[in-house]
Amino acid sequence: MNVISTQNAPAAIGPYSQALDLGDLVFVSGQIPVDPATGAMPADVRDQARQSLANLKAILAAAGLGMADVVKTVVFLADLNDFAAVNEVYAEAFAQPFPARSCVQVAGIPKGAKVEIECIARRP
């Protein structure tokens, strides 16, 4: 098992890894919409979704993978009323065949974010 870490995504804010590479599978921890260069978080939920997905993409790149290698995602929303807006942005990040996905509303997301996204990717 190898730890994946990149400065192109926010550092872990707790005792966890950005991702773990198990050879065939890479498990990427949930990414909140923090810009790794500035530490800022956009206000709009669409922009938050774009940043969370950009963070996932950066971690996957550090593992030598891309968004096309993602087989499963979990989207956490602070407000399920944001589902349609996040879904629009999500659809821009992935192509068919789309990964399997779960989307749930949660009581809270770190740093007051509106969205957090995690994924599992596979090596071709």
**CATH architecture assignment, domain 2-122:** 2-Layer Sandwich (3.30)
Is the separation of the CB atoms in 101 and 19 below 8 Å? no
Give the model's confidence band at 46: pLDDT under 50 very low, under 70 low, under 90 confident, else very high: very high
User: Which residues on adjacent β-strands are paired with residue 104?
Assistant: 76
Q: Say how many residues make up the chain.
A: 124
Domains of the chain, residue spans: 2-122
Give the model's confidence band at 120: pLDDT under 50 very low, under 70 low, under 90 confident, else very high: very high
Rounded (10°) angle between helices 83-93 and 45-62? 30
Give the model's confidence band at 124: pLDDT under 50 very low, under 70 low, under 90 confident, else very high: confident
pLDDT single digits (tens) 77-107: 999 999 999 999 999 999 999 999 999 999 9
Tokens of 40: 């800022």
- DSSP states of 37-93 as a string? TT----SSHHHHHHHHHHHHHHHHHHTT--GGGEEEEEEEES-GGGHHHHHHHHHHH
Tokens of 53: 């997905």
112 phi and psi angles, rounded to 5 deg: 75, 20
**pLDDT above 90: residue 52:** yes
Q: How far apart are CA 6 and CA 30, in angstroms?
A: 14
pLDDT single digits (tens) 65-81: 999 999 999 999 999 99
Q: Cβ–Cβ contacts within 10 Å for residue 51, how many? A: 25
